[in-house]
Amino acid sequence: MSEESPDMHLSKDEFQNYGYQLVDWLAEYFDKIEQYEVLPSIEPGDIREMLPDSAPEKAESMDEIIADLDRVVMPGMAHWQHPGWYAFFPSGASPVSALGEFVAAGLATQGMMWSTAPSATEIENTVLDWLVDLLGLPSSWKINEGPGGGVIQMSASDSTHLSLAVARHQLEIAGIDGNSLVVYGSSHAHSSIEKGARIAGYKHIRSVPVTQSFDMDANSLAQLVSEDIRSGLVPAWVCSSIGTTNTTAMDPIRRIASIAADNGMWHHADAAYAGSAMICPEFRELQDGVELVDSYTFNPHKWLLTNFDCSIFWVADRSKLVQTLNILPPYLRNETEENPAAIDYRNWHVPLGRRFRALKLWFVLRSYGSENLRAFIRSHVAWATELEKRVNDDPRLELTAPRTLALVCFRHSGGNESTKALVDAINASGSAYVTPSVIDDVSYIRVSIGSTWTKQRHVEDLWNLIDANAGPR
């Protein structure tokens, strides 16, 4: 046969050499991450200006490429792994998780079907079943027991979107006009509901009022549902937020479940952040009634030491999911397609292909052990509780929402301008980053404690920064 491909891949020695270098580079990064400013000081376009306008014709050396991690990448990093990261919710990675991702990338198995990736499929089945027990969820959500089951998705937005798409398809095949379907979430529910509903083609989205503690007012939900039915619409889907993004408010799942059941609605639970805390039994009262929902999502990539992406999506009845998504062309037919022990995950989400994300999760759950994972969560909640107390005891500051887990929401008593000045001072320090937000025109500060490398002393430092910048007592 004609022309051999040139030997262009890294040799074994080269791979080992550069692999070790990058292990060392990351080891240094983890070790010194605190010395970086949390946010970079650059303008849009600055990173791009350091890069050429076209791809190189000739191969470049790995030495040059690795050097560009410091020259190009570092100057434009917002360090999500910095111990002073209190913004948004944490993006919890860990050294172990990075090692798992590395191995998965090297194996590069593609898990669209059991037959194309038996290990990846069964390890995913297994660790997701482990998590059902760890989080105190219904055992009928285990792949092994059914009729439910879990699957790793990219993000909670994907899970929410998918539950919306499945709910819609189920109602449409029952003969209901898609244009009449209505989606409900609280006014504090995540933006992924509106986004997912729009993508899934829903025409009616209701923002349900919240109570004083910012959880969904179930009476208002019942009233909106009744009004919509009277108008000839069909209530289709409702989300219980188990920890809103604004304040980690907890919706009344049991009451919402009752309204959903009475009206044949799909009931989805978004525990993207708070789900990780449910490995500690003492927090499970926050999701009382969770056994009644039709689907549930939480993100180990937020608060369980597993790097993005790793979002779990459970459904109470997997047959509805598979019925909606299964399309079987001849080139995907295979001998185990009818075998219930051989899950074809391609029928559990929008993509066809998928990588071996369960590997890093398996590494994390084993390397830490459940005991340590609980201690990790509990320490953050304890520090947040202490921070909440200090805010409450300080006349210059006011809590703006009840704390349920490790997010503390407060403002400056002087009002929005003073609050903005305080946010700016904290973020300008370079050692901490908090997110400002606003509810009903009241600006406030979100302090989300949960980064992998955050220790008690960092939260002390943050408090000192708040104290020093809040003005005279």
**Residues 163-192, interacting with a second copy (CB under 8 A):** 165, 168-169, 172, 177-179, 190-192
Q: Which residue has the tokens 């959880």?
A: 215
Within residues 18-47, the interface with a second copy by CB under 8 A covers 18-20, 22-27, 29-31, 40, 42, 44-47
Nearer CB in complex with a second copy: 327/472: 327
- Span interacting with a second copy, options 199-207, 250-258, 392-400, 418-426, rule CB under 8 A: 199-207
- Report residue 198 CA to chain centroid gap: 20
Rounded to whole angstroms, the Cα distance separating 249 from 243 reads 5
Q: Residue 116 interacts with a second copy (CB under 8 A)?
A: yes
- Span interacting with a second copy, options 159-167, 253-261, 392-400, 413-421, rule CB under 8 A: 159-167
Q: Residue 370 interacts with a second copy (CB under 8 A)?
A: yes
State the nearest-atom distance from the C-beta of 301 to a second copy, in Å. Answer: 8
- Cα-Cα-Cα-Cα dihedral of 406, 286, 164, 265, to 10°? -160
State the nearest-atom distance from the C-beta of 182 to a second copy, in Å. Answer: 15
Furthest C-alpha separation in the chain: 83
Within residues 247-306, the interface with a second copy by CB under 8 A covers 301
Nearer CB in complex with a second copy: 147/201: 201
Structural tokens at position 187: 């006014």
Q: Residue 442 interacts with a second copy (CB under 8 A)?
A: no
| Residue 439 main-chain phi, psi, to 5 deg | -130, 125
Rounded to whole angstroms, the Cα distance separating 407 from 447 reads 6
Site string for a second copy, 420-439 (x = CB under 8 A): ---------------x-xxx
What is residue 445's three-state secondary structure? strand
| Beta-bridge mates of residue 63 | none
Q: Which residue has the tokens 């198995």?
A: 109
Rounded to whole angstroms, the Cα distance separating 449 from 89 reads 8
Structural tokens at position 215: 């959880």
Q: Are 228 and 205 in contact (CB under 8 A)?
A: no
Within residues 230-249, the interface with a second copy by CB under 8 A covers 245-246
Site string for a second copy, 44-73 (x = CB under 8 A): xxxxx--x-xxxxxxxx-x-xx---x--xx
DSSP 188: T
Nearer CB in complex with a second copy: 22/222: 22
Q: Residue 392 interacts with a second copy (CB under 8 A)?
A: no
Site string for a second copy, 317-346 (x = CB under 8 A): -------xx-xxxxxx---x--x-xx----
